[in-house]
Amino acid sequence: MRRVIWVTLIMLCGVINFAEAQSSKEEASYPNHPIRLMSGGVGSTADYLARLIGVKLNEKWAQPVVVDSRTGAGGTITADILARATPDGYTLMVGHAGPVVSALALYKNLSYDPVRDFAPVTQLSKGVVVLVTLPSMPVKSVQELVAYIRQKKDLSYGSAGNGSISHLVGELFNTVSGVKVLHIPYKSAGFALTSLLSSETQIAFLSPVTAHTQLVAGRVKALVVSSKTRFLGLPEVPSAVEAGVPGLDAQLWFGLFTTAKTPDPVIMKLNREVSAILSNPEIKAMLLAQGAEAAPSTPQWLGQFVQSEIKRWVPIIRSAGIQAD
């Protein structure tokens, strides 16, 4: 009997050692060919983050990280590609509320399930949505804007697309302020900004990263951020509480995802490397100056956060009757 037990223990140890060796081998060999990192349209926060991380990973691993910028369908085209990719860590996506959360409510026949088909790697950044308008708009505060909207009644706002966080915050603004501004969806945040600059729309709800260059140049002005306290990246802009719309509270977040069933050692290697990039003081300062706060996390935390965002926003989108088209 003792001999049987000893033989069993030896075999078990052998299996464990083999598994550990395989795990170490997978991690050590990754990456050995180019990585595809998908993002949103040029000028979007997702694209900015993808290019920043891509350059740093390339420097670290000496393997090309090819940024694939795509627009349209609220990010679901990119998400569908990720869901169907080989689960080896060579296809990545900078995801956000649009394709990872809102799409569940917007599309009846969505080709993927973000919880089932994506493997979270790490949160990348967190921040706010900022309400911007043109300097020519005769208002200096949200309350003056609300009064102006009630007087004119035909204003419109641009967003990064149906179901995007900029769209949700725009509808939230309509609700908490008691006005109705017409929503005009665009293929990306960059197009929404362009529409504002050309006066096709009068207001836009954007990421501070997208609006940064135009804010600095004075071509647009910011009236409020979507948080109860001032945002470190835009300290001069009033919070929702200060602006008199305390209910305008929504977080803008971005995360790194790969395909479900990607080996854990690969995911953890990605997590460590990207977290190290985002924890670098120079990178943190660079992001904050652009209007985003670096916020690396564990894969588990990001997965739980996504599920909590789904529970919060999907019922709101459905009850509001927001459609994909």
C-alpha–C-alpha distance, residues 21 and 265, integer Å: 11
Categorize the per-residue pLDDT at 44 as very low, low, confident or very high, splitting at 50, 70 and 90.
confident
pLDDT at 74: 76
By three-state DSSP, how is residue 256 classified? strand
pLDDT at 188: 84
C-alpha–C-alpha distance, residues 325 and 311, integer Å: 23
C-alpha–C-alpha distance, residues 91 and 36, integer Å: 5
Q: With pLDDT > 90 as the criterion, what percentage of the chain qualifies?
A: 70
pLDDT at 211: 93
pLDDT at 20: 46
Instruction: List, for residues 168-213, the tens digit of each pLDDT value.
Output: 899 999 999 999 999 999 988 889 999 999 999 999 999 898 999 9
Locate the domains of the chain by residue range.
35-126+252-320, 130-225
Query: What is the average pLDDT score of the chain?
Result: 90
pLDDT of residue 216 exceeding 90: yes
C-alpha–C-alpha distance, residues 212 and 126, integer Å: 16
pLDDT at 25: 58
C-alpha–C-alpha distance, residues 223 and 301, integer Å: 32
- Higher-confidence residue of 136 and 323: namely 136
Beta carbons of 116 and 210 less than 8 angstroms apart: no
pLDDT at 1: 57
Amino acid identity at 29: S
pLDDT of residue 163 exceeding 90: no
- Homologous superfamily of 35-126+252-320: Bordetella uptake gene, domain 1 (3.40.190.150)
C-alpha–C-alpha distance, residues 188 and 311, integer Å: 25
Categorize the per-residue pLDDT at 316 as very low, low, confident or very high, splitting at 50, 70 and 90.
confident
For the segment 275-303, the average pLDDT, to the nearest whole number, is 94
Categorize the per-residue pLDDT at 10 as very low, low, confident or very high, splitting at 50, 70 and 90.
low
Is 0.85 surpassed by the pTM of this model? no
For the segment 151-178, the average pLDDT, to the nearest whole number, is 90
| DSSP letter, residue 321 | T
pLDDT of residue 220 exceeding 90: yes
- 296: which residues sit within 8 A by CB, 6+ positions away? 122, 123, 124, 274, 275, 278, 279
Radius of gyration of the chain (CA): 22
> Do 130-225 and 35-126+252-320 fall under one CATH topology?
yes
pLDDT at 151: 93
Compute CA distances 95 → 50, 239, 283, 285, whole Å: 10, 26, 20, 22
C-alpha–C-alpha distance, residues 317 and 244, integer Å: 24
CATH code matching the domain that covers 130-225, chosen among 3.30.30.60, 3.10.20.30, 3.30.450.20, 3.40.190.10 = 3.40.190.10
For the segment 36-58, the average pLDDT, to the nearest whole number, is 91
Residue of 224, 303, 210, 318 whose CA lies nearest to 256 = 303
pLDDT at 2: 61
pLDDT of residue 325 exceeding 90: no
pLDDT of residue 30 exceeding 80: yes
pLDDT at 289: 87
Residue of 205, 206, 208 whose CA lies nearest to 289 = 208
Instruction: List, for residues 16-27, the tens digit of each pLDDT value.
Output: 454 444 445 556
> Which residues share a beta bridge with 125?
254, 294
pLDDT at 21: 43
For the segment 243-272, the average pLDDT, to the nearest whole number, is 96
pLDDT at 11: 56
C-alpha–C-alpha distance, residues 286 and 90, integer Å: 27
pLDDT at 6: 57
Omega before 31 within 30 of 0, i.e. cis: yes
